[in-house]
Amino acid sequence: MCDSCGCETLSRRTIDVNQPLLAANAAAARHNREHFAARQIFTVNLMGAPGAGKTALLEATIRNWRGAGRIGVIEGDQATERDSARVRAAGALAHQVETGLGCHLDAAQIHRALHRMELARGDVLFIENVGNLVCPALFDLGENLRIVVTSPAEGVDKPLKYPPMFRAAELVTLNKCDLLGHVPFAPDEWTDYVIAANPRARILRTAAIDGAGIEAWLEEILRRRRAFLESSAK
Amino acid sequence: MHELAIARDLLHIIDRTLGADNVRVLRIDLAVGAASGIAADALRFAFGVIAEGTRAHGAELSIAASPARGRCVGCGILFEFEGMIGVCPACGKLGGELLAGDGMMLRAIEVADV
């Protein structure tokens, strides 16, 4: 009540809490993960800077998909439904989340989006996160695979500048690799930096526009999906 | 500005911890991993905005950085990172496998009866 006389010192006490932050998001992510396992929906979280080519890579993925099941996409952007329109035109089921002031997607948003999508058992879900190399790294969505999409135009040093993002990913793809030779970019140096941030990352090269590397990209996703289906079927 | 989402979560945990107690929160003790990607100033700012009109309004955020530790993938030794990416003090290799220091924990809150 009173800030000045010091009477508060009489009742001061410390309460031990010892709880991790983002526990609410972690709980929602766990719920999503259980849902994905129970329904055998392999879910991929695509992250990367705006302009890295995430949507174009998704379009190429949808058009060249040869796995069983349909592809659903949850699109996260601050504004507009442009990306959901693009992936829908490519043949996917799509749901747009406009985050407004939000700089990332969180697990509760994914949960709500799932209620608005008609995904069937065995479908595949791609989540295109908000274009941002910082915030999405911290929010577990319950996904089964995290991928960072990056491009030569971003320069070689992004893994050093944004380590949590590269650390969060199991797979990193150098997209727009058709730009190599046209922009200043030393691939070996970049690879060293990715490994410095995340020694376990698997690195691919793709070019969504001319199709380079798309076969290997699809094979990698399908391989991980098979492993997910086997483990979640147990 | 993911600190806003974290500030909201922090307030939620504090509210749940305090229940219906009629108290004012004076201090909040946090431990934030050096490799967590959380900016202390941004978190303080965001919490100040979020906590307005609540029991935690005006509380001091005491943020202790817990060190980031990892293993060198070159020579295998364990070492403390300086910053978000380490440089192995033994072999000089850049980077390493992070083993601790990417979490955030609410340790304790100090309150006073109103």
Split into its structural domains, chain A has a count of: 1
Task: Render pLDDT for A163-211 as a digit per residue (tens, 0 to 9).
Answer: 999 999 999 999 999 999 999 999 999 999 999 999 999 999 999 999 9
Report the distance separating Cα A168 and Cα A94, nearest Å: 25
Asked if the structure places residue A218 within a domain, the reply is yes
State the residue range of the domain holding B23: 3-67+102-113
Residue B52 makes CB contacts below 8 A (sequence gap 6+) with none
Query: Could you tell me which of A165, A160, A168, A157 has the C-alpha nearest to residue A131?
Result: A165
DSSP characters over A1-28: --SSS-GGGGT-EEEEEEEETTHHHHHH
Percent of the residues in chain A that have a pLDDT greater than 90, as a whole number: 90
> pTM to 2 decimals?
0.91
A134–B95 C-beta distance less than 8 A: no
- Tokens 């079927």 — which residue? A233
Task: Render pLDDT for A86-112 as a digit per residue (tens, 0 to 9).
Answer: 999 999 999 999 999 889 999 999 999
Asked if the structure places residue A10 within a domain, the reply is no
B24–A135 C-beta distance less than 8 A: no
Q: In CATH, what number is assigned to the domain containing residue A177?
A: 3.40.50.300
Q: What is the mean predicted confidence (pLDDT) over A144-172?
A: 97
Asked if the structure places residue B91 within a domain, the reply is no
Task: Render pLDDT for B35-80 as a digit per residue (tens, 0 to 9).
Answer: 998 889 999 999 999 999 999 999 999 999 999 999 999 999 999 9
Report the distance separating Cα A107 and Cα A112, nearest Å: 9
Which pLDDT value is given to residue B111?
97
- Tokens 């994914």 — which residue? A110
Chain A residues close to B85, C-beta within 8 Å = 160, 163, 196-197
Asked if the structure places residue A82 within a domain, the reply is yes
Q: How far is A89 from chain B (nearest CA, A)?
A: 32
Asked if the structure places residue B42 within a domain, the reply is yes
Chain A contact present for B49, CB below 8 A: no
Q: Does the predicted interface ipTM exceed a cut of 0.85?
A: yes
Q: In CATH, what number is assigned to the domain containing residue B23?
A: 3.30.2320.50
Please say if the pLDDT value at position A8 is more than 90: no
Which pLDDT value is given to residue A11?
86
- Collect all residues from A whose CB is shorter than 8 A from any CB in B: 1, 8-9, 11-25, 101-104, 106, 134-135, 137-139, 160, 163-164, 167, 192-193, 195-197, 199-200
A199–B114 C-beta distance less than 8 A: no
Q: Are A104 and A130 in contact (CB under 8 A)?
A: yes
Asked if the structure places residue B84 within a domain, the reply is no
Asked if the structure places residue B77 within a domain, the reply is no
Tokens linked to A226? 């098979």
State the residue range of the domain holding A166: 22-233
